[in-house]
Amino acid sequence: MDILSPQNPRAKEWAQLLEKKHRDKQGKYLIEGIHLVQEALRSGADLECVAFDAERGIPSELASMADTGQTQWIGVSAAVIAKCSDTKTPQPVFAVVRKQKAAIGKLLAQKNSLVIVLDAVQDPGNVGTIIRTADAAGADGVIVGRGSADIYNPKTIRSTMGSMFHLPVVEGDLMELLPQAKQSGVRIVSTSLQATSTCYGYDFTGPSWLLMGNEAKGVSEAAQQLVDDALTIPMKGQAESLNVAMASTVLLFEAMRQRHFNQP
């Protein structure tokens, strides 16, 4: 059954998911575009429905996935798509996904875990890029602390490029989670301009959780108390510092190099 009117109750419910309070209330979020819908379907995410432009039909890239019977596929009008999109040029397909809570227990139990931890990283683009980088570097998961951008914000989701479906992304209180990690033998690593050790001299092969702070203020004082090792990222040029997503990339890829590409 097609939904063509933006005033349709179901279309209105979908459009509400552009706001965080409704995402929290409904326990769902929107993803937009062929690539993200494809990644969600491939990864077994819990999709309530996929809405596609009724005039154009199901995009060819998704056609083979539409026969599984697990997810409802609904033709909608361009007006409905526009209502449910936060971009100027909406994509011809979007999906409604039920939130799945990633459990911290799995990360705590993981041997030699490599996890990136975000302490009030507020820019959705930064949070999404860090999730994507963690996926690329083979990290075991991402922990998003309170005060950070909502991981279900459309901008965050777009920046992950589908990586949010590939590894656990846990939201939680760092003051509870970091002490638990330390008790299980994890070392909490952070960057500091005052540090004397560099990230290239550090051993990332043991269980390492990389703590990255807020864009303007850095790591909070309370979280700072839990840091085991502070490192600098050496720079040869004149830039004062790196943006938090770039700094995360340097650390994650150095950890990946040591763990997987360190043959003599």
Q: Name the band, by pLDDT with cuts 50, 70 and 90, for residue 102.
A: confident
Report pLDDT digits (tens) over 119-163.
Answer: 999 999 999 999 999 999 999 999 999 999 999 999 999 999 999
Residue 262's pLDDT is what? 77
The structure tokens listed for 203 are 């051993």
CATH H superfamily, domain 9-98: Ribosomal protein L30/S12 (3.30.1330.30)
What does DSSP assign to residue 153? S
Q: Which of 142, 38, 42, 145 is nearest to 94 (CA)?
A: 38
Residue 194's pLDDT is what? 86
Supply the CATH classification number for the domain 104-260: 3.40.1280.10
Asked if 132 and 157 count as a contact pair (C-beta separation under 8 A), the reply is no
Q: Is pLDDT at 227 greater than 90 in this prediction?
A: yes
Q: Is pLDDT at 77 greater than 80 in this prediction?
A: yes
Residue entry with tokens 């990290």: 139
Parse the chain into domains and list their residue ranges: 9-98, 104-260
Residue 259 makes CB contacts below 8 A (sequence gap 6+) with: 114, 138, 204, 205
List the helix and strand counts (H, then E) for the chain: 11, 11
